[in-house]
Amino acid sequence: MSNFKTSLLMTALAAVISGTVPVFADDSNTYINGSFGLQDFDNDRQLKTEQLISIGLEHRYNNGWGAEIFWMDASPSGLSNTGDTDLTQYGIDGLYYFKSDESNIHDAIQPYGAFGLGHAEFKNAVHTDKETQLRAGLGLRMVLSDHWSAKADARLIYSEEAKALDNTLTIGLSYAFNHQNKKVVPLDGDNDGVIDPIDTCLTTPAGTTVDNKGCALDSDNDGVVDYKDSCPNSPAGSQVDAAGCGLDSDNDGVADYKDNCLTTPVGRAVDGNGCKFVLTRSEELSLKINFANDSAVITEEYYAEIEQAANFLKKYADVNTVIEGHTDNLGADDYNTNLSKRRAEAVMTALIERFGIDADRVSALGYGEARQIATNDTEAGRLANRRVVAVMKAEISE
């Protein structure tokens, strides 16, 4: 191994040693590990499988991570009876305990993975070989008592210089400076101030105010405990939802227990008692019918429009209307005034006789050619002026 590699390894070993003084965090521990086993060698080494002994110092930093410095010794013999080889190996392994939740360090069975860096010296009567090793494997710790545990371990060891892959299998005992037995279950598991034997609600969330049975308070007795209750002052006997708030059957924003109008239409603005505000709006319908020249006869195409006007008047019984008749400027004024009134009366008659509107709700006026809306120089303009119009308007309160 190069001087740089040796220095790097020694620095790492010193760092682990400095962190293993027996002053522990809650989930840390330090172990002395002793084991024995077998080491099997790569065929190219021409060495027989041999027994080994190992000693290590392991520090468990937290639930998941640890590190171990180790020393191993073996004396394998050659396959060709070439004599024994003194084999010394030492180094540092990182350890990761797979079940790394907060209880693992106290569990009876603790599987782990290992990876690390080592140094080996193969010394026989002829020469000494020094090698850098890369190490990886799996292991299992089984807690036996407060301080003692058993370990089983399997490692693959790769030699950088020899390009050889060896393996070891070991079992042994381990002594822990800290207690490693399972934690005593606390008497008050949910820390609510009520000990577990008399606590009927063992999983109350932290910080929740509880009664003498360890259950969360329900100040307004609505069946929803206070820490879940968004409305902690619901009146006694009122029906509430899962959040502890009064039901709102008509979704008007006022809870049923104080809603005097439980069937308010969706979307209506309401007052503090859940009743809709009175709204006023206008409904308006315009009627417009055109006539042929010098005619007061309603053509069939306009009866649908007259029917719409009749339906409006039936819907709003307090609405009356004035039918206004008009002409173009062809003809004498007196004649046109009379013609315009006959046109208005024709529409009025249709509303009364054909569509059943009361006569006292409809009146007719003729304006002749006094209110022109278009030029009389064209046929289209004169047609526009030959008209009957009516505007019906209702004020509606809701």
Q: Out of 3.10.180.10, 3.40.50.10490, 1.10.3720.10, 3.30.1330.60, select the CATH number for domain 281-397.
A: 3.30.1330.60
Q: How many percent of the chain have pLDDT more than 90?
A: 47
The reply to whether CATH 3.50.50.60 applies to domain 3-176 is no
For the stretch 48-91, pLDDT in tens is 999 999 999 999 988 789 999 999 999 999 887 778 889 999 99
CA distance 287 to 7: 105
For the stretch 288-337, pLDDT in tens is 999 999 999 999 999 999 999 999 889 888 888 999 999 999 999 999 99
- The pLDDT assigned to 23 comes to 38
Q: Is the pLDDT assigned to residue 106 strictly greater than 70?
A: no
Burial of 227 from C-beta contacts in 10 A (0-12 / 13-18 / 19+)? middle
Domain locations in the chain as residue ranges: 3-176, 281-397
* Phi, psi dihedral angles at 304 (to 5 degrees): -65, -40
* Phi, psi dihedral angles at 296 (to 5 degrees): -120, 20
Q: How far is CA 267 from CA 253, 270, 276, 335, in A?
A: 10, 9, 10, 56
- Considering 102-111, 267-276, 377-386, the range whose residues carry the highest mean pLDDT is 377-386
Q: Which two tokens stand for residue 204?
A: 């109350």
CA distance 123 to 88: 9
For the stretch 202-212, pLDDT in tens is 778 887 888 88
